[in-house]
Amino acid sequence: MVQSAVLGFPRMGVLRDLKKANEAYWAEKISQADLLAEGKRLRLAHWKIQKEAGVDIIPSNDFSFYDHILDHIQLFNAVPERYRRQKLSPLDEYFAMGRGHQKGDVDVPALEMVKWFDSNYHYVKPTLQDNQTFALAEDPKPVREFLEAKEAGFHTRPVLVGPVSFLALGKADRGSKVDPISLIDKLVPVYIELLKQLKAAGADHVQIDEPVLVFDLRPEVKAAFKPAYEAISAQASEIPAITIATYFGDIVHNFDVLPAFANLHGLHVDLVRHPEQLEPVLKQLGPNQVLSAGVVDGRNIWKNNFQKSLDLLHTAIKALGPERVVVATSSSLLHVPHTLASEKKLPADVYEWFSFAVEKVKEVAILAKAVVDPESVRAELDANAAAMKSRAESARTNDPAVAERQAQVTDAMHHRQSDFETRYAKQRTHLSLPLFPTTTIGSFPQTNEIRIQRAKFTKGEITAEQYDEFIKKEIDLAIQIQDELGLDVYVHGEPERNDMVQYFGERLKGFVFTTHAWVQSYGSRCVRPPIIVGDISRPAPMTVKESKYAAERSKKPMKGMLTGPVTCLRWSFPRDDVHQSVQCQQLALALRDEVLDLEKNGIYVIQVDEPALREGLPLRKGPERDAYLKWAVNSFKLATAGVQDSTQIHSHFCYSEFQDFFYAIAALDADVLSIENSKSDAKLLKVFEDEAYPRHIGPGVYDIHSPRIPPESEIRQRIQEMLQYLRPEQLWINPDCGLKTRKWDEVKGALTNMVKAAQYFREQYANKA
Ligand code: MET
Ligand SMILES: [Zn+2]
């Protein structure tokens, strides 16, 4: 018999129940006991789903109120003193680390949060001290939740983040210099203690995640595996069997680490991302080791292709025998929505193509049966084959006109007509911009009124005409305010956009939208990505109406606003049947048409936002990364390069640090960049110490994430700092990002000071000239 396993289940519940409970607790609307009870209810419900689906190996300790790495920070007592000192309850201390705590005299900021590998999930970074010690928390969560499951009749496999990954994903605290991995000898005894307690509680098997094995590892990190896992294996009789789990990449380049696991029960690898690692991994396994074959995608929403998975599983079984193969999800299901059953509005034909967490759990169980006895699940196999066929043959999937257009893309289409100097000379006369031009990034406050009107329109309570009139009034207001502020390049304010990707997805062919398919991004925050189901094309202009209206009413150049091809792709669930580069090029062609339509309609400054460009970068250096950069950069260029020299192309970047990525941004050949900068201690600017940037750039002069109004002096200081690295003619003055989350009075206050600061420098340099 072949067993089935799930590596982790989403925590939010059917209707984002956990988000609601957390937020109610934070707002002091429910008690701690209420929140804990809700957590328990969700865990039990999720175990039940998995058991009823027939999954053999069901995870526990995958649940988390905020983040699983944060759970481990508390579990190992790696809580920085500034939180300990507050003497909060364990739960409040936990949330204080996750999201900061401001109440009474307590005021501690959150620990740093960063992206979990190349996903859109964010984890809380272990933040360690020079004199760091570790100790197992009292009543450790993994033991508690294992027992909770056991009592309810579920035998589970606890999930732990491994000691090497825990440290390698951490950092030294401010004021400390410790290399986290050097703490491994201190941390391993705590794992051993925890594993012993789990065994005593009745756990016979644990899953220890060591996902850093998919990275290029520093020698220090690599070297930590052997002593750590030898010390753990030495306790074999007193601890549960261990399966090491890796995901989001292949581990072939780190095979020299595998001997460290030689005495462990099993190894899990991601065969969705990297099926080709199966053969080499099979050769590396010890004589009794079990392969956990991650064939059901934990990162995307497509129905599993059973035939493909069965081929991989048969290869594994042929080498190892059925007893040594486990059918598993490729990673935790954390990254997919809860259940497809909640989707009542998906077109019937595409509904059949998807699997969310609840459905994927069933897939794992079915595959485990199918691989030994296909007849026992014949109906499921047939239904799966039919769904694959329907998708492959659907008119939605393949649009010959799109393919034909892609075949005609030429190299020349990726290049502007002239070099930057020539373009800029024409743009300067065309746009008559002052020195230190001021602008904003696109969105203005999304007020309650805007949300109300949009909801009314969506529900059909007001007509399209009424809604359009409302949007026009919002645009009028945005223009009037920009007139008053004295900005140089205007924006229309994006009042008509619900979301910078969804808005475009809804106007393109090739996308579908869900109503409940939320995925946790961080803490209680969830996102609902659109789904790319087929070849993408643009049936009609998407933004021309609003931009044209705005341009006709403004005294100054009006900037058209588009979301770039890479960002549209990255913030959606992409197709898994064609390469992402193909989908990105389709998006680029659609946007190219939009750019040209804007230009035709009198919009001569066009900004194409690519905040997600950095996060798409493959995790490892090498050919995969080079290939990504090539197609990502080319997509942007294809989208933008069709304009006249005199039309100015802007692009915008935020959400990441760009100092090690600037070369890629520079390769976009945009005339003007705006880049989030104000939080990163001018790290970005240091890039220009080594290499002069040839075009124009607006490093953000203030942080838009806070309601605080930056004083003029502070903005002047920022600009002064930039002038150490950039020539005055190069510099644009703008905020870090769009202003949709701010209130109007904050926006007006901040921009008034920003404009004054720009004027100050303009006068300084006018006098010099
Ligand atoms: C996350 S980047 C946002 C850019 C967009 N144009 C805005 O201003 O909202
Ligand atoms: Zn931004």
Ligand having the closest approach to the CA of 571: 1
Mean of the per-residue pLDDT values of the chain: 96
Which residue in 662, 566, 578 sits closest to 609, CA to CA?
Answer: 566
Ligand 1 atom 4: the closest Cα is on which residue?
738
414 is catalytic: no
Alpha-carbon span 97 to 88, nearest angstrom? 11
pLDDT > 70 in the chain, percent: 99
- Say how far apart CA 721 and CA 701 lie, in whole Å: 10
Instruction: Report which ligand 1 atom has the smallest distance to the Cα of 441.
Output: 8
Least confident of 388-392, 643-647, 679-683: 679-683
What is the rounded average pLDDT of the residues 594-602?
Answer: 98
pLDDT tens digits for range 36-51: 999 999 999 999 999 9
Of 51-60, 92-101, 246-255, 702-711, the range with the lowest mean pLDDT is 702-711
Q: How confident is the model at residue 424 (pLDDT cuts 50, 70, 90)?
A: very high
- If one residue of 559, 609, 610, 653 were mutated to test the ligand 1 pocket, choosing by the most ligand atoms within 8 A of its CB, it would be 609
Expressed in angstroms and rounded, the spacing between residue 443 Cα and the centre of ligand 1 is 6
Amino acid type, 570: R
| % of the chain surpassing 90 pLDDT | 94
* pLDDT tops 80 at residue 121: yes
Please tell me whether 737 is known to bind a ligand: yes
- pLDDT at position 656 is 78
pLDDT digits (tens, 9 = 90+) for 720-744: 999 999 999 999 999 999 999 999 9
**673 alpha carbon – ligand 2 mean position (Å):** 11
The amino acid present at 302, given as its one-letter code, is W
Determine the average pLDDT of the residues in 283-307: 97
Q: What angle do CA 539, 544, 550 make, to 5 degrees?
A: 165
How many angstroms separate the CA atoms of 304 and 354, rounded?
8
Could you give phi then psi for residue 431, rounded to 5 degrees? -100, -10
Kindly report the protein residue whose alpha carbon is nearest to atom 3 of ligand 1. Answer: 738
Q: Give pLDDT tens digits for 190-211.
A: 999 999 999 999 999 999 999 9
> pLDDT tier at 657 (50, 70, 90 boundaries)?
confident
**Ligand nearest 654 Cα, by number?**
2
Atom of ligand 1 nearest to the CA of 561: 6
Is residue 567 a contact partner of residue 500, using CB atoms and an 8 Å limit?
yes
Of the pLDDT bands very low, low, confident and very high (cuts 50, 70, 90), residue 679 is low
| Res. 681 pLDDT band, cuts 50 70 90 | low
Instruction: For 427-567, list the strands marked E by DSSP.
Output: 509-512, 519-522, 525-527, 531-537, 559-563
The per-residue pLDDT for range 435-491, each reduced to its tens digit, is: 999 999 999 999 999 999 999 999 999 999 999 999 999 999 999 999 999 999 999
120 is in an annotated binding site: yes
Q: Which atom of ligand 1 is nearest to the CA of 442?
A: 8
Using the predicted structure, report yes or no on whether residue 380 has a pLDDT greater than 80. Answer: yes
Flag whether 46 is marked binding. no
CB distance 303 to 359 below 8 Å: yes
Mutational test site, ligand 1, from 439, 496, 500, max ligand atoms within 8 Å of CB: 500
- The ligand minimizing its distance to the Cα of 674 is 2
The band of 611, judged by pLDDT with boundaries at 50, 70 and 90, is: very high
Question: What is the distance in A from the centroid of ligand 1 to the CA of 442?
Answer: 6
User: Mean pLDDT over residues 149-178, rounded?
Assistant: 97
Residues near 616 by Cβ (< 8 Å), separated by ≥ 6?
118, 566, 569, 570, 628, 632
State pLDDT tens for residues 251-288: 999 999 999 999 999 999 999 999 999 999 999 999 99
Distance 503 CA to ligand 1 centre (A): 12
| 766 pLDDT tier (thresholds 50, 70, 90) | confident
Structure confidence at residue 59 (pLDDT): 98
The pLDDT value recorded for residue 680 is 60
Q: Flag whether 734 is marked binding.
A: no
Checking if the pLDDT of 682 tops 80, the result is: no
ipTM reported for the complex surpasses 0.90: yes
The runs of H, that is alpha helices, within 459-539 are 464-485, 502-505
Q: Hey, is 556 helix, strand or coil?
A: coil
Q: What are the pocket residues of ligand 1 if the criterion is a CB atom closer than 6 Å to any ligand atom?
A: 441-443, 500, 561, 609, 611, 652, 654, 737-738, 740
pLDDT band at 248 (very low <50, low <70, confident <90, very high): very high
Nearest to 562 by CA among 617, 491, 633: 491
Q: Judge whether residue 320 has pLDDT over 70.
A: yes
Which ligand 1 atom lies nearest to the CA of residue 443?
Answer: 8
- Residue 117, by phi and psi: left (phi above 0), alpha (psi -120 to 50) or beta? left
Supply 7's token pair: 């590596």
- 214 Cα: distance to centroid of ligand 1 (angstroms): 32
Start-to-end CA span in the chain (Å): 83
Give the whole-angstrom CA distance, residue 723 versus residue 745: 29
Convert the pLDDT of each residue in 537-562 to its tens digit. Answer: 999 999 999 999 999 999 999 999 99
Q: Return the higher-pLDDT residue of 688 and 267.
A: 267
Residue 568 annotated as part of some ligand binding site: no
Question: Residue 740 CA: which ligand 1 atom is closest?
Answer: 9
Question: Does the domain made of 422-768 have the CATH classification 3.20.20.210?
Answer: yes
**pLDDT for the residue 660:** 86
Total number of residues shown for the chain: 769
**Taking a C-beta distance cutoff of 8 angstroms, is the pair 735, 487 a contact?**
no
The pLDDT assigned to 769 comes to 61
Q: Where are the domains of the chain?
A: 422-768
Q: Which ligand is nearest to the CA of 606?
A: 1
Ligand 1 centre from 601 Cα, in Å? Answer: 22
Confidence of residue 709 (pLDDT cuts 50, 70, 90): very high
DSSP-derived 3-state class of residue 527: strand
Cα–Cα distance, 293 to 489 (Å, whole number): 54
To 5 degrees, how large is the angle CA 437–CA 438–CA 443?
A: 140
Contact 509, 399 (CB under 8 A): yes
* Cβ atoms within 10 Å of 370's Cβ, excluding its own: 24
